Structure 1
Amino acid sequence: MCPNCGQNSETIGHALWWCAKSTEVWVSTPFWESISKFKGLGCEVVLRGLSECLKADAVESICMVLWGIWQSRNVVVHEAVQAVAVAAKAPSSWSPPLVGSLKLNTNTSVKKGSQRCGVGAVIRDEKGWIVAALSKNWLGNFSPEAGELIALREGLLLAQKLQLRISCVEVDAYNVASMVSGVSFEVGESEFVVADVRALFKEVGVQKCQSISRNGNRVAHNLASLALSSLEDLVWQNV
């Protein structure tokens, strides 16, 4: 039985392509239209078909996503934990979490020509009330991806410090959401931060990580921008 969906026998083809969890990932990629033409077929048949109709760099990207899906599956099987889900499409506006739950939004802001970046994080309840928030200044020249990961880690560390359980996390970068959810491959400067984030996900109870539009992530973005104009780190509780 498939450990992710619990509904079908687990073949390699099902695990990598047709399980509901895997399909959720593929639908969010540019490759789904091509992949869906082979629906229900075995893994080798799908790969052979894709290699014949797509360019080599697209097939390489697909293989990287496959690796991430398999790694996520192994976490569920061998470590007996539920993998964090990643939403297929980015919401255009902020929506409250389920009753009794908390949602974390994070963002980073980089000033052109500056060696600083600002990170912002806000934790809200089902009524939209701010339970906690932070605006923090970081010294360093970070890539946008690394900055988003640092902001996410800072938000999770805030939740950990305040002993808050977070059910959902939102960032406005899909590549970061998929990376920390275990459905894409990470290397270089991001690798260790991703490991920290995944460990914190388990600690504070994160069940879902999704990307959101910049407009929907406005509060976290404003907090990140505020950090660039402030000389001190700011933290709020129960605003």
Structure 2
Amino acid sequence: MVQVSEGGDVMIRLTMNCCRGRRPARRTSTSASLPGSERRKGSARGEDDAVLETENDWLQIILDTCNADIRDKILLLIWRAWFLRDNCVHGDGKESISRSASFLTRYEEEIRNCLVATDSERGKEPVGSKNICNVRRENDAGNHWYAPPAGFAKLNTDTAYNPDSELSYAGAVARDYKGIPVVSLGQNTGTCMDVMEAEACAIREGLIGLSALFNGHIIIETDCSTLAKELSPQATNRSHCFPIIRDIRECLGHFVSWQVNWISRERNKFAHNLAMEAKDHGDFKMIGAVPSRVQEVWLYDRNLDAF
């Protein structure tokens, strides 16, 4: 039975009362600190009822009785529960509870990390900073690939994304200052909510493939400007791609230094060809080589860079 109250809070009440609204709270640190979460002796009432079984001003009452930290967690929980509700009503209904719980936990951790003040006067640096360069737009003079400086590896990534099926395929290639591939790969990265998430998966898979072979200085090139900005060291990530971006930043910690360039699609054509290769012919990973079907594009890039 659903109690319909006056005002616009009924949908939030319904969302939080469904199983997909309750479970993320139980799997995160939020439920442990909710007011009234301790069960009364002889009563079956628990933390869920404490949140939902109040008067018409239930949300305001709950928020007023919480400290600032718990209040923020409740609002984040409602926000994610509403996302799950939208996925059930308007999407495919396949969004998992564990993924949402993981998202909330890691999102909270990211926010806390952003609030930690750094003490530059004492020589302290933010965790993970290693000669980091700012994200920038690469000079578009000449619509072709440019080799990195000697001692660097340049990683180009792209995706082949189908918005109807939401299936995505990653393509990535890392090349040295002579244009010789260190590693090339193509991989089915499953379903993604949008192109940005698919592009982020491509960068993550490229970094994982490269880190097994090379840990020096790297330059990452992507044609997704939004993602490039999200990867900036100064960025506070609040996008739905947070878990993947968090993975990317962890992968970047394996390298001496890194830089992200936002480039045109024309200059990223070879990475897109690798993504299409995975889409049409299946996953692959090659060390020091590229698939024969896309060698012509690789040689075209390499020859133009020589001039």
- Normalised by the shorter chain, which TM-score bucket? 0.5 to 0.7
Partner of 1:120: 171
Equivalent residue for 1:182? 233
Residue in structure 2 matching 1:238, options 288, 292, 295? 288
Deviation at 1:199, TM superposition (A): 1.4
> Can you list the C-alpha shifts for 1:58-109, whole angstroms capped at 9, x where unaligned?
xxxxxxxxx9xx8799497343733632343233332111112211111111
Alignment-mate amino acid for residue 207 of structure 1: W
SS at match of 2:274: helix
Deviation, structure 1 residue 121: 0.4
In the alignment, which of 91, 105, 108 is matched to residue 139 of structure 2? 91
Query: Which has the larger Rg?
Result: 2
Distance 1:188 1:100, change over 3 A: closer
- Structure 2, unmatched stretches of 5+, are 1-110, 290-307
Q: Distance between the aligned counterparts of 1:170 and 1:189, measured in 2?
A: 21
Residues 80/184 of structure 1: CA separation in 2 closer, same or farther (3 Å cut): closer
- Which residue of structure 1 aligns with residue 305 of structure 2? none
8 A contact 1:179–1:185 mirrored in 2: yes
**Kept after mapping to 2: 8 A contact 1:72/1:182:** no
Pairing 1:79–2:127 present: yes
1:181·1:198 contact (CA, 8 Å) conserved in 2?
no
CA shift at 1:238, angstroms? 1.1
In the alignment, what sits opposite 1:37?
none
User: May I ask how many residue pairs the two structures share in their alignment?
Assistant: 170
Matches of residues 184-199 of structure 1 in structure 2 within 5 Å?
A: 184-199=235-250
Question: In 1, distance between residues paired with 2:185 and 2:217?
Answer: 16
Cα distance, 1:71–1:182 mapped onto 2, change above 3 Å = farther
Which structure has more relative contact order (CA 8 Å, sep 6+)? It is 1
Q: 1:124 to 1:229 in 2, by over 3 A?
A: same
1:173, distance to aligned residue in structure 2 (A): 1.2
Is the aligned partner of 1:143 residue 2:191? Answer: no
Q: 1:72 to 1:234 in 2, by over 3 A?
A: farther
Of 80-89 and 133-142, more deviation after overlay is shown by: 80-89
CA distance in 2, matches of 1:72, 1:180: 18
Structure 1, 200-209 or 167-176: larger mean CA deviation: 200-209
Residue identity (%): 25
Mapped pair 1:200 → 2:234: no
What is the deviation of 1:229? 1.3
Q: Which amino acid is the alignment partner of residue 132 of structure 2?
A: V
Distance 1:80 1:114, change over 3 A: closer
Runs of at least 5 residues in structure 1 that lack an aligned partner in the other structure:
1-66
